[in-house]
């Protein structure tokens, strides 16, 4: 079942991450990486969003005609565990239905580079999702970007706040590109079709 709302409502695509150059290349910031690439594709530059603690790009994606969608790309600037506040402020400002919100985030329980798209569900210990679900409920879309589990006994917090390894970086651009394609497919074609293409 596809729970997207009417075609005229805008979409809010939220890349989850932590602000600041020291976090930019971390595994936890892959949502920001996808948002940056989507902004580049839309020909936009992130700017401060009024009173919301976030940076946004407004634009459209999709071919001309009925499949064209109005989109707000967002990167919360509040740190990961407080993402819900900025996202909720943007939802209210742009009048976005919760079903038209997409969170792009790192996912520990999926192999590196693997994608999973879904609507609703738990937060699986992810602080960004936890914060969003607290204010929005759980019925928003997720594009889950697999980063795999930490090796050995490395604490999860250390693992997600470290940069991708040299071996991972060789494929990172390709995987970020594919995740961006998946976000576009979700918004333009709907969840089920996007899942059939990108859920590997």
Copy the structure tokens of residue 45. 């530059």
- Residues 6 or more apart whose CB falls under 8 angstroms from that of 113 comprise 145, 146, 171, 174, 175, 178
- Which residue of the set 28, 105, 126, 141 is catalytic? 28
Cα 182 from Cα 137, distance rounded (Å): 23
Three-state DSSP class for 2?
coil
Which 8-state DSSP code applies to residue 5?
-
The answer to whether 117 touches 141, Cβ cutoff 8 Å, is yes
Cα 192 from Cα 141, distance rounded (Å): 12
The answer to whether 54 touches 75, Cβ cutoff 8 Å, is yes
Look up 28 and say whether it is catalytic: yes
∠74-79-83 over CA atoms, to 5°? 55
CA atoms within 13 A on the CB side of 31: 29
Alpha-carbon torsion 132, 136, 137, 141, what sign?
negative
Q: Report, as residue numbers or ranges, the catalytic residues.
A: 28
């Amino acid at each position: 079942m596809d729970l997207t709302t009417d075609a005229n409502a805008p979409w809010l695509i939220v890349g989850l991450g932590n602000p600041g150059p020291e976090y930019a290349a971390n595994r936890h910031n892959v949502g920001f990486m996808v948002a940056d690439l989507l902004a580049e594709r839309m020909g936009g530059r992130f700017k401060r969003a009024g009173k919301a603690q976030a940076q946004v790009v407004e634009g459209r994606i999709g071919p001309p005609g009925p499949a064209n969608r109005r989109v707000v790309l967002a990167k919360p600037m509040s740190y990961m565990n407080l993402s819900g506040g900025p996202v909720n402020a943007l939802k209210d400002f742009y009048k976005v239905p919760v079903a038209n919100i997409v969170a792009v985030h790192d996912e520990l329980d999926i192999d590196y580079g693997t994608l999973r798209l879904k609507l609703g569900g738990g937060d699986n210990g992810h602080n960004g999702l936890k914060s969003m679900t607290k204010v929005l409920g759980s019925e928003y879309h997720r594009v889950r970007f697999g980063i795999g589990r930490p090796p050995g006994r490395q604490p999860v917090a250390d693992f997600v706040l470290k940069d991708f390894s040299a071996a991972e970086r060789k494929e990172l651009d390709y995987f970020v590109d594919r995740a961006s394609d998946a976000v576009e497919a979700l918004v333009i074609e709907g969840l089920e079709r996007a899942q059939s293409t990108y859920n590997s």
